[in-house]
Amino acid sequence: MTKFADIKGFVFDLDGVITDTSILHGTAWHQLADSLGVAWSEELGNGLKGISRMDSLEMILKAGGKENDYTEAEKEKLAAQKNTNYVAEVDKMTPANILPGMKDFLDSLRAKGYQLSLASASKNAPRVLGKLQLADYFPKIVDPASLKKGKPDPEIYTKGAELLNLPPEQCIGVEDAAAGVAAINAAGEVSLGIGDATELGAADMVFANTSLVTLANIEKKLG
């Protein structure tokens, strides 16, 4: 098991970890589901966390029994429609939308010389980071368009460690979604989950919320 002293880098998810765009994603998908006549549920919305844009659309269509009703071109248009609505909300974001404690945590990581990269499934991640004024913290971002498979596949976290030139076991992956924790574990990194301990039971350590995520608390858990 990795010790705290072995850790050299952190690979971050964005949505639900640094900021809460999941609400904005949920609202935009809910709007689209309504327009398609697909019944929305909280469960459906939660299941989309960390899932790529096109995979999210497929899940919504499947939930409504409409997975065979649209051509690929039509699906691209539906996804673009959702994204237009989502981006309009993202553009209203400010640094006040950084989740509690996360700015301090990022500052402490920088001060202690840890390397940081971003492993977000979101193609809008650079835009979101810009709105939060955190772009300087993440010069290394995995390009989600380069991925063959989304979370829970380890690819995005493997690439996140590669960007840092670190072996995976020297990295902590930070996630709010079960699919993301599975991806971190499969990549051989130490998994830090933020949220419900039952939902994120596969994580090496779980914190109930972002304000509990500090280097001191991580050291306590990792030893």
Binding footprint of ligand B16 on the chain (CB under 6 A): 13-16, 22, 25, 48-53, 56, 83, 120-124
Active site residue 136: no
Answer with the entry of Mg ion, ligand B16, none that 159 interacts with (C-beta below 5 to 8 A by kind). none
Q: State the nearest-atom distance from the C-beta of 78 to Mg ion, in Å.
A: 22
Q: Which of 6, 13, 69, 176 is catalytic?
A: 13
Active site residue 15: yes
Q: Judged by CB, which is closer to Mg ion: 49, or 140?
A: 49
Q: State the nearest-atom distance from the C-beta of 39 to ligand B16, in Å.
A: 19
Show Cβ contacts of residue 101 under 8 Å, excluding neighbours closer than 6 positions. Answer: 210, 211, 212, 213, 214
One-letter amino acid for residue 96 of the chain: A
Q: Which of 15, 55, 69, 204 is catalytic?
A: 15
CA dist 207 to 3, 143, 202, Å? 18, 27, 13
Alpha-carbon distance of 213 to 81, in angstroms, equals 35
Q: Judged by CB, which is closer to ligand B16: 6, or 91?
A: 91
CA dist 67 to 4, 27, 56, 57, Å? 46, 21, 12, 9
Q: State the nearest-atom distance from the C-beta of 3 to ligand B16, in Å.
A: 28
Q: Judged by CB, which is closer to Mg ion: 76, or 192?
A: 192
CA dist 75 to 43, 119, 182, Å? 22, 25, 28
* Catalytic center residues: 13, 15
